[in-house]
Amino acid sequence: MADSFIIDRSKSKAQQYADALTQLTFLTEDEQDWVANVSNVMACLKYGFGFFWVGVYLIKESELVLGPFQGPVACTRIKKGRGVCGTSWEQNKTLLVPDVDTFPGHIACSSDSKSEVVVPLRDKHNHVIGVFDIDSERLNDFDTDDQKGLEAIAHLLSKLLVN
């Protein structure tokens, strides 16, 4: 159950993300409703890893529109090519941004956000359907182990979204 989602922060990052993926798969496998599943995944990630902001934006009528998230109030719509999220969508690739102030066009939903990872969410034809956005209030808080782990979670999210 959600209240037993536990991440041992003393383990390696790779192991923490592997443990998260196992628990999130178990948590969501018997539920078909994507809003319920993705909402719970965001709660697990926010409280398990202590991210500042974690959530999804989904493509609707040529814009990214805010979906289930945990953290401070966020911008509701982002255009293709705008900010880190819109650029990740346009380029169809993960963006790891150690200092958001150096990213051209970064959209500051909260001035407390300092570093960020954005991973595209894709359907089975590899088309982008949205993005998974993870923010930290610390500079340079994400490395390539976070990127790999978050990409694995994005794969699970993609499956939940297109179900």
Q: Minimal distance in Å, beta carbon 71 to ligand SME?
A: 7
Residue 160 binds to ligand SME (criterion: CB under 6 A): no
Residue 106 binds to ligand SME (criterion: CB under 6 A): yes
Residue 146 binds to ligand SME (criterion: CB under 6 A): no
The residue from 53, 89, 132, 142 that contacts ligand SME (CB under 6 A) is 53
Q: Minimal distance in Å, beta carbon 32 to ligand SME?
A: 27
What is the pairing mode between strands 128-136 and 63-70? unpaired
Tokens of 49: 């890893």
Residue 59 binds to ligand SME (criterion: CB under 6 A): no
**Residues 53 and 74 sit within 8 Å (Cβ to Cβ):** yes
Residue 54 binds to ligand SME (criterion: CB under 6 A): no
Q: At what angle do helices 13-28 and 144-161 cross, to 10 degrees?
A: 10
- Nearer Cβ to ligand SME (86/149): 86
Taking the C-alpha atoms of residue 103 and residue 114, their distance in angstroms, rounded to an integer, is 11
Taking the C-alpha atoms of residue 144 and residue 151, their distance in angstroms, rounded to an integer, is 10
The overall longest dimension of the chain from CA atoms, in Å, is 43
Residue 46 binds to ligand SME (criterion: CB under 6 A): no
Residue 114 binds to ligand SME (criterion: CB under 6 A): no
Task: Name the strands in the sheet holding 77-79, side by side, starting at the edge strand that comes first in the sequence.
Answer: 77-79, 63-70, 53-60, 128-136, 115-122, 95-97
The residue from 113, 115, 136, 158 that contacts ligand SME (CB under 6 A) is 113
Applying CB under 6 A, the residues found at the interface with ligand SME are 53, 74-75, 78, 83-85, 106-107, 109, 113, 116, 133, 135
